[in-house]
């Protein structure tokens, strides 16, 4: 291991915003912060938003800088990468930022029912042909359902058309409410209102309705809502790289439950979708190559 990594690991241990659970704190048991993030770590009752696979933490930090009324937690296993975001948060006194170094497989041991209001997945590995390893899959949705608050949102931002189309199919297979979907986010100008499906429409049709509307198609029973400028202005390292290469960026926002649900639903089982694996795997080769050589 290089001296640079060792230095970063040592510095991480001094950062107040860095939480690094030992294996015995998350394996087959609950971490002491589970259900206590607001009270014991952030010392407030503000909403908590997670970024899964946060990498260098640039997206987590940028969102936290914009929204001091929200607590953000970036999660990744690679401490040397997270060091950059954690150091920035420490040096700039961002009290609404945490970085959690752990495997996302252990996430159920770290957050309690209803504790999280939103999840971001930014440029996750599409895990082509390996559904169970994909952070957007029935296996992981079941875990997210255990701690996401009623009506809480999941945001997917990706260069991977494979991952985007798979997630749309996943939403349709499980009748999950899709609030917005587009396979070319930057074709939508910040000043142009986005179209989203009316909540009164059947959930099973919302994925296709949102995708069609966002990509210029026409759908009935749609309402208009302005896009958050942060979707365009806050960019990860990978996002900047892919935009420079001319690849479109996909964006999808959906929920696991409606606002009317009184409780989150741990142990919820989700179905795998029927979709054209071969087609989208072929179209997504560029993302796969970049990810595995990172």
Catalytic residues: 125
φ, ψ for residue 98 (rounded to 5)?
-135, 150
DSSP 29: S
Query: What is the Cα–Cα distance from 71 to 49, expressed in whole angstroms?
Result: 6
Count CA within 13 A, CB hemisphere, residue 204: 2
Which strand (E) or helix (H) includes residue 224? strand 222-226
Q: What is the DSSP string of 229-265?
A: THHHH---HHHHHHHHTT---EEEEEESS-TT-SS--
| Chain centroid to CA 127 | 15
Query: What is the Cα–Cα distance from 230 to 244, expressed in whole angstroms?
Result: 19
DSSP 39: I
CB 8 within 8 A of CB 83: yes
Angle ∠(147,214,222) on CA atoms, nearest 5: 85
Query: What is the Cα–Cα distance from 63 to 54, expressed in whole angstroms?
Result: 12
How far from 86 is each of 22, 117, 121, 195, 216, CA to CA, in Å? 19, 22, 18, 36, 40
Q: Is 29 left (phi over 0), alpha (psi -120 to 50) or beta?
A: beta
């Amino acid at each position: 291991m290089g001296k640079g990594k060792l230095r970063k690991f040592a510095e991480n241990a001094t950062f107040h915003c860095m939480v690094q659970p030992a294996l015995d704190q998350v394996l087959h048991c609950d971490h002491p912060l589970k259900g206590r993030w607001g009270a014991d770590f952030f010392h407030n009752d503000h909403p908590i938003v997670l970024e899964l696979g946060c990498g260098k933490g640039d997206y987590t930090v940028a969102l936290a800088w914009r929204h001091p009324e929200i607590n953000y937690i970036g999660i990744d296993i690679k401490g040397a990468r997270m060091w950059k975001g954690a150091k920035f948060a420490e040096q700039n006194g961002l009290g609404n930022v945490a970085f959690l170094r752990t495997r996302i497989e252990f996430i159920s041991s770290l957050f309690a029912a209803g504790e999280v209001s939103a999840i971001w997945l930014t440029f996750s590995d599409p895990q082509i042909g390996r559904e169970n390893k994909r952070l957007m899959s029935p296996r992981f949705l079941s875990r997210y359902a255990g701690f996401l608050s009623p009506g809480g949102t999941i945001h997917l931002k990706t260069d991977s058309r494979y991952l985007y189309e798979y997630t749309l199919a996943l939403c349709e297979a499980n009748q999950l409410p899709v609030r917005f979907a587009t396979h070319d986010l930057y074709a939508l100008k910040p000043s142009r209102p986005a179209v989203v499906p009316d909540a009164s429409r059947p959930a099973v049709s919302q994925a296709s309705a949102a995708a069609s509307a966002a990509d210029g198609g026409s759908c009935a029973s749609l309402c208009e809502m302005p896009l958050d400028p942060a979707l365009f202005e806050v960019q990860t390292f990978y996002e900047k790289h892919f935009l420079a290469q001319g690849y479109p960026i996909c964006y999808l926002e959906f929920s696991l439950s409606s606002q009317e649900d009184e409780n989150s639903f741990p142990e919820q089982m989700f179905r795998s979708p029927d979709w054209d694996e071969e087609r989208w795997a072929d179209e997504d080769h560029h993302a796969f190559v970049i990810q595995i050589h990172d």
